[in-house]
Amino acid sequence: MPNDLTPIHIYILLHLKKAKVDYAKMMAKISCVDLDLINSCIEDLIKAGLVERDSGSAIKRSKAKFKKAFEVRKHHTYYKLTKDGEHFVRRIDKRWLKNYFNELIGRDAFKIIERLKDCKDFYSACKGIECNKYLEDFVLYKLVNPNGKRTRLLELLIAFAEI
């Protein structure tokens, strides 16, 4: 498993766990992350053996959980988790995310993320924590905007991971 997974990689894995199969443009639209960045992360995950392209010309709602129609013709490249990807995603729980974010950003990072679940502002979530050293990384990883407001990506990570 690559050690250089970003929160966007984690989001894609969790998204595919929930959706079963989906395409990059939809992941970008839902998360408000740039499509080129989503595509780049998907390629990383394919190289790591966690994600693969889904074959076939049509897809049923029973297979694609986020689709509204019973059956949809594919007009995009759809992706799904590999067996290794499914096994890896099963390990992603609150404890795993706490270790991941604390190693990625700093020892109080997950505490801030948990607080951001209830408040939308980074500075409010940092009460009692030296937040200036974390803001730059939270912005870099697209968890908050430069003004300190949480991003759609962070909201989805919190929801999908059930933090």
Domain boundaries, the chain: 7-90, 94-161
d(CA 158, CA 163): 5
Distances (CA, A) of 102 to 46, 47, 70, 88, 96: 26, 26, 42, 19, 10
d(CA 90, CA 17): 9
Specify whether the CB–CB gap between 51 and 82 falls below 8 A.
yes
**Residue segments in the chain with a per-residue pLDDT below the cut of 50:** 1, 61-62, 65, 68-70
What is the pLDDT, as a whole number, of residue 61? 47
d(CA 117, CA 109): 13
CA atoms within 13 A on the CB side of 94: 6
Specify whether the CB–CB gap between 60 and 53 falls below 8 A.
no
d(CA 142, CA 106): 16
Q: What is the CATH number of domain 7-90?
A: 1.10.10.10
What is the pLDDT, as a whole number, of residue 72? 57
